[in-house]
Amino acid sequence: MSAERELDQLVESLLSDPQHYGHPLREALARLQQQNLDQLSRLERIARISDGYQSLAREQNLSLSERYHRQLRQLEKVARISDRYQDMLRDLNLALKEASLRDALTGLPNRRMLMERLRDEEQRSQCGAQPFVLAMVDVDHFKQINDTWGHDVGDQVLSQIAAVLQGAVRGYDLCGRWGGEEFLLLLPETSLNIAVPVIERLRGRLRDLDLCVAGERLSISASFGVAEQHPGEGYSQTLNRADSALLEAKHSGRDRCVIAPLQA
């Protein structure tokens, strides 16, 4: 510890010691200490003012072009930071949009994305494109799987069904989760005679799906309602017809594919 610091501490302890209260030299010592502190703070103020003048003088000595280049460098730095933020925001927006269009459990397109594609397909067909085929798929007696094995196993089964459906359709077809244990297949520019064999094959693959829970084999099946868009028909009417066909598939024994008649 420096000698000055030691002296300061000694003076402070003498002044704060109640033993010395009333001592004739105590007040003189206190006044001396205060004077010392006042002088110190005056010196510090002067040093600060002097520092300020020196940096102002340095600044004024810089040429106009040096100052211009310095400002330019700062601006470039700000622009780089802003570019980085914009890139991050764009990536975040893309990720959010992607997430808002996907089903969290299966990773398949969700109902919102299916609706967007259905609208697109409706517009394309109005511009002369070939009609599309829709297939509503509903897992049979799915409640029993949940009730017997629990919701987590039910979730795993849904994910595996989704993988089978997704793996079986062509690149430009769309397979999404419509909700719960229902899926929707959209086969653009396809007629029934092409779509039906594809869908029947899919139904077979679901039946053959090798699901194993706690050492036991679990088999599933699904019912399909299929509708081909007829000329001038809006997608919601095609959907309704596919839905009615699905209902008929359920009522007539499940594990089958029913094709909707042209008029619902």
Ligand X SMILES: Nc1nc2c(ncn2[C@@H]2O[C@H](COP(=O)(O)OP(=O)(O)OP(=O)(O)O)[C@@H](O)[C@H]2O)c(=O)[nH]1
Which residues make up the interface to ligand X (CB under 6 A)?
105, 138-143, 146, 151, 154-155, 158, 180-181, 250, 254
> Please, what is the angle between helix 24-61 and helix 3-16, to 10°?
140
Shortest distance, CB of residue 247 to ligand X, whole angstroms?
10
Contact between 233 and 118 under an 8 Å Cβ cutoff? The reply is no
Query: Catalytic residue at 181?
Result: yes
Closer residue to ligand X in complex, CB, 117/177? 177
Q: Cite the beta strand spans of the chain per DSSP E.
A: 133-139, 174-179, 182-187, 211-213, 216-218, 222-228, 257-259
Shortest distance, CB of residue 234 to ligand X, whole angstroms?
26
Shortest distance, CB of residue 225 to ligand X, whole angstroms?
12
Q: Which tokens belong to 146?
A: 């949940």
The catalytic position among 76, 116, 121, 181 is 181
Closer residue to ligand X in complex, CB, 121/138? 138
Measured at CB, which residue is nearest to ligand X? 154
CA distance linking residue 213 with residue 169, whole number of Å: 27
Contact between 154 and 146 under an 8 Å Cβ cutoff? The reply is yes
Query: In the beta sheet, which residues pair with residue 157?
Result: none
Phi first, then psi, for residue 214 (nearest 5°) are 50, 45
Shortest distance, CB of residue 157 to ligand X, whole angstroms?
7
Catalytic positions are 181
